[in-house]
Amino acid sequence: LVKELKAEKVVEIYSHYFPPQVMVEGDGTIRMPKNEVYAWKSNGEAPDLLVLVGDFQSISNEGHFELVNAYIDIAKKFGAKRIYTLGGYGVGKLVEEPYVIGAANSPKLVDELKSYGIKFEPGEPGGGIIGASGLLLGVSKLEGIEAACLMGVTSGYMVDPKSAKAVLDVLSRMLNLEISDEALVERAKEMERLIAQIKEMQEMAMQQWKSDEDLRYFR
């Protein structure tokens, strides 16, 4: 999203709540873990955007609250009217056609998200939304800011570009953004080939197991 929009970095966030490590770059140099905020100014019907990306979430409960409050302070300084958090929701099985489920901090926003095909399933996600993606919704509500979480349904077994594409497609429609999804489409094709290979190996293993069982029967 940041690359497609050519957004400008406006904030770098360093915190002792991040894991105690450094990041190693491609050239062998190191840097401290950080999260970044990028700003994009619209010249059309789409709203102006702030995009938060980064290396890590907090490693402690206290840190989650500290960082989420910092993120919301930044959003307020830039005049943000609504916050979206994005993520995946693992269901423990392969999903042929990914879809997006949601959660929001107001009934009005729930109705709006439903109009874009986002599903709200009773009791899902089970156990709530853990980490910054969920906490941002709760603290935003206390601050009077609308917020929603969009979650692409996925197996949870591996990186799922098809699920990511489903989330990006919905977000693009909601924000009137024109964003190329070519990279995600290509990665999705690669993942489909990998899944097909895994299924083939599983079928071969099952056939071999059945063959071995038959031989044991005749013995």
pTM: 0.79
What are the b/e assignments for 21-35, b being 16+ CB within 10 Å?
eeeeeeeeeeeebbb
CATH number of the CATH domain containing 108: 3.40.50.10900
- Quote the CA–CA distance of 161 and 173 in Å, as a whole number: 18
- Based on the domain organization, do 58 and 131 belong to the same domain? no
Q: Which domain holds residue 186?
A: 84-219
Any idea of the CA torsion for 13, 32, 48, 88, to the nearest 10 degrees? -100
Say yes or no: 101 and 68 in one domain. Answer: no
Whole-angstrom Cα Rg for the chain: 21
Domain boundary among 43, 59, 80: 80
Task: Answer yes or no: do 56 and 89 share one domain.
Answer: no
> Considering only CA atoms, which of 76, 6, 81 is closest in space to residue 41?
6
Number of folded domains in the chain?
2
Q: How do residues 115-174 score in pLDDT, each as one tens digit?
A: 999 999 787 777 789 999 999 999 999 999 999 999 988 776 666 677 888 888 899 899
Residue 208 confidence (pLDDT) above 80? no
